[in-house]
């Protein structure tokens, strides 16, 4: 019997999730059907109820419904609780299990796909929104030398600093700062702001990029974004966007649903847009 899954969002036409999960199913021999669901803003719960009534087994969740999914779920995993948002759900009877795989997907892309170990390195992450919040614990688990969170609204960065220090089990120094307070050069600089979606540039001093730095934009499919252009002009040669993160968080969800984790290399290769 074919099991049904979907991605829900608004808008949703741009989603690559059906392509990714169908490709995963083919290489792992899983019998699934996967579709896109456009839900009206304010109508998330009704769409999910209807999907479950049709026998749906699970969902990926994209903007603007990650907070709605958090509220809808009956059982939130620690990853979802930390992020305060959900990007994957699994339906079992009356139970709605919820996860957030964005952070673990980011770290797996950095460490495994890009061969960029984080242990002992200075890491700077731009933005204090949901993406950064969800990435905190996976990043800290890699034991960087330091994690600095920078945001236009300093209080938001400081709130994530406090959250990270409260929840981490290690002793990684964490700072939440404004852009003008960032000092020194970093080994890894992650752009988790929405600036690249608008072709804008965060107010970042190019001195933050160490000579052998990896500059990583969580936005994907936009080519050489203003953030990556800034890094390139600063002499950075290791540039990456979030296509690998997209594939890796999808693989985590697929494994959670189906019990088998697909290899992501072929999907990443097909979705990669040259950074030019």
Q: Which residues does the annotation mark as catalytic? A: 66
Rounded CA-CA distance 38/170 in Å is 41
Rounded CA-CA distance 247/268 in Å is 6
* Residue 231: HSE in the Cβ half-sphere, 13 Å Cα cutoff: 30
């Amino acid at each position: 019997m074919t099991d049904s899954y979907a991605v829900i969002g608004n808008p949703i036409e741009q989603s690559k999730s059906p392509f990714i999960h169908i490709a995963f199913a083919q290489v792992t021999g899983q019998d699934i059907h996967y579709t896109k669901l456009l839900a009206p803003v304010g109508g998330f719960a009704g769409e999910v109820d209807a999907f479950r009534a049709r026998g749906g087994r699970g969902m990926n969740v994209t903007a603007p419904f990650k907070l709605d999914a958090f509220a809808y779920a009956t059982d939130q995993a620690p990853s979802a609780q930390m992020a305060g948002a959900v990007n994957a759900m699994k339906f079992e009877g009356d139970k709605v299990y919820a996860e957030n795989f964005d952070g673990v997907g980011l770290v797996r892309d950095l460490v495994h796909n890009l061969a960029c170990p984080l242990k002992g390195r200075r890491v700077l992450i731009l933005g204090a929104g949901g993406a950064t919040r969800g990435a905190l614990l996976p990043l800290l688990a890699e034991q960087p030398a330091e994690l600095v969170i920078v945001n236009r609204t300093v209080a938001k960065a400081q709130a994530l600093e406090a959250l990270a220090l409260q929840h981490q089990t290690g002793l990684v120094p964490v700072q939440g700062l404004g852009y003008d307070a960032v000092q020194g050069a970093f080994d890894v600089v992650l752009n988790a702001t929405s600036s690249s979606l608008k072709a804008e540039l965060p107010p970042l001093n190019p001195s933050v990029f160490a000579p052998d730095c990896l500059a990583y934009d969580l936005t994907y499919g936009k080519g050489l974004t203003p953030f990556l252009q800034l890094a390139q002009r600063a002499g950075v040669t290791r540039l990456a966007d979030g296509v690998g993160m997209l594939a890796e968080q999808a693989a985590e969800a697929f494994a959670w649903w189906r019990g088998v984790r697909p290899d992501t290399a072929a999907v990443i290769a097909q979705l990669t847009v040259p950074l030019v």
